[in-house]
Structure 1
Amino acid sequence: MKFIIPFGSLVPSRNSLKSLMASSVTQTLTLPQTQTFHSDPPQDDLDDLLCSDPQQEQQERQQLLLSSPDTSPSCFGSPSRCLTGESHFERAWAHWAKLGRPKLIVAPMVDNSELPFRMLCRKYGAEAAYTPMLHSRIFTENEKYRNQEFTTCKEDRPLFVQFCANDPDILLEAARKVEPFCDYVDINLGCPQRIARRGNYGAFLMDNLPLVKCLVQKLAHNLHVPVSCKIRVFPDLQVTINYARMLEDAGCSLLAVHGRTRDEKDGKKFRADWKAIKAVKNALRIPVLANGNIRHMDDVQSCLEETGADGVLSAETLLENPALFAGYQTAEWVVGSEGSNREGQLDQTDLVVEYLKFCESYPVPWRMIRSHVHKMLGDWFRMHPHVREDLNSQSILSFEFLYNMVERLRELGTKIPLYLKDTHEDRIAADGLGSSSV
């Protein structure tokens, strides 16, 4: 049975949202009343519209609290404020085991790890997923933002809901709104972008460790679900280890480590440091996830072996190939790889069609759909740039246009298959890293 969490219809335009996210937490917003546009909104806002009738979806969303049998917190049973030492570690591992110890995880991606994309990745082997980063202050103050930026469904578990924050009380208020619908509330301590610098969150809180500790403690002492954190490493390994231990002592029950520093923003230019992740894993007593350098399933296997991590996160590669965790890889990674590969009877146009069908079931803003279509069909558009230009010229998208565009690409005779290793199914079954059936 489908249900969507009961949050909203329209949000501010993308430019205004960036302005909101960059502003100081101490500012007070004057929020507009929720409204339905009866005429065409301004041009800049068209891609912020949901890809379906907002009123119809709002009625469906209202059924969530009545229809969901799983709206009680999934872990811990009571706030963990009294848990210290062995009790904290034991409960952290018990919760991880209850979730099935997921190894293949969709990383948090702003505007790109929304519900339809998470569901597509889950279909192709992902065992858990993060939401996009949510701004805690805007989430608490702006109903429109909540309504559109956080949706989930019964099958969307295990689920990490990620917030950026720099005020413990505001973070807790935001976290309490989502804790019945997730398995972890995650604190973003790793975003290295300029907007995070201006807003004083993400990786720029590495300069204020007492505040980071307060954020973690505030959630760990007051939520029923456990708190997780996602970090980047310091240039100095020992500082990184001390940082991770501080988070663990503050109440963090699961830590995801991106093996790049705050200044290493370009994933293609800088390789993630798996040795640093291994050192963190060896230093902690809670589950640790590895992030960085995951391009195909061989990388998953190598990362788990080299770091000892309890799971891996993938972001950029999943955007191009959401079937990564089912063993599929693009031609880029087949060239020069060990072993033989065969065409997997699946390509990115197939994945786009499946994604669009998920969007019809779980509506999201058109800006997210547009972004995913560009990323999944990048190679196709490079061969047929006139089709990409037609897409870019559409100020108002529709499912009919997008399905027809996919058919145009196919009729042009383009063939860019995804590949599987001949031995992939046997290895996956033996290692238990994912499902070979899709």
Structure 2
Amino acid sequence: MSGSPARVYVARLAGLPVYDPNGDQVGKVRDVVVTLRQDTQPPRVLGLVVEVFTRRRIFLPMTRVTSIEVGHVITTGLLNMRRFEQRATEVLVLGELLDRTVTIRETGAAAVVFDLAMEQWRTRDWMLSKVAVTEGAKRFRRRGQSHVLDWADVSGFAQTEHGQGATHMLAAFDTMKPADLAGVLHELSPKRRKEIASALNDERLADVLEELPEDDQVEILAGLDTERAADVLEEMSPDDAADLIAELPTDTAERLLTLMEPDEAEDVRRLLTYEERTAGGLMTSEPVILPADATVADALAHVRNAELSPALAAMIYVCRPPLETPTGRFIGIGHIQRLLREPPSALVSGVLDTDLDGLRPDDGLQAVSKYLATYNLVAAPVLDDEGRLLGAVTVDDVLDHLLPDDWRGSAPQEGDPHAR
């Protein structure tokens, strides 16, 4: 394999772009697939897990990798688009081997794996040949001693480790978007998902949960202690938290709502009163709401909040006090594109769209979709009978419910030509 270095550290492959011979990007590396062998023989590297632009994860055999350079991987251009399905004999290096506790054979000392290296042998096969470990790391010490050892010099990979860490695995995926990290978690075993979820901070875990299929959400939340589960729910957007709580047993849901901050719990309880496939069930209760005397500069400052989704940041909602939902009388909406053309000192009330009647909370999914399409909107206000703003429905909320229930992590059906 000309152009490839003699040794490639696997953690550095995470997220690297994969190009065809014409220089067109076809996806990103998400993991490396190996098969463990008997005794001390190095594992054979079978191929790469590559995420293509449809968020489908496919298997790229090493025989079709023509070059691994600094910053990218090049393939023959022949990609099998069948969805990757991990076999019982296969192991994911990043997802399963990083952070493993192993034993150094010579000394008997315990060490934690922070990277592994693969090399191409004269047979042209790739082997997982080196293990980078930290020995003697203690909780209250700065750092243990690091070694790069031959595969044969360590043992313990074949055993199941309970309570495996996730520090180095998460470091490899540190810059990954929540939706992409959710895709990685979905492909792992329930045991590994639980360990990784435990290692994520509340905010990051909340972002990832919002992108996972409902079954995975429920499984991960059930694996957390009750107080932490409530903290994570508080970090989620109220509509996503309500959707998740609705999937839980009634007593569990009530216990979590009781542990949440009262204001956060109140928003979720209110959303739970609406049918799922209605405007009330789809909406978020936390759009950008401003008073009539707010300026364009005020509006732009609010929509710069990085935690807002693009759809929520595209529009502001102007109401009479109180400004928490349900608000005072709804006045109108301000389109950010229009506000960008106005002087910063201008009042938003002078450039509002006041002609839209808004949705009602019991409007069905079809009515919501038609409303957004009719007025070319990415978000829409939801009003009660008294003209108060209850929340806003965004186009991504609608798409979540128009797509099949398992679209986030659907596996191929029996007989699917994409099954590996």
> Which of the five TM-score ranges fits, normalised by the shorter chain?
under 0.3
Pick the structure with more helix per residue. 1
TM-score, structure 1 as length reference? 0.26
Q: Mark the structure with the bigger radius of gyration.
A: 2
Q: Normalization by structure 2: what TM-score?
A: 0.27
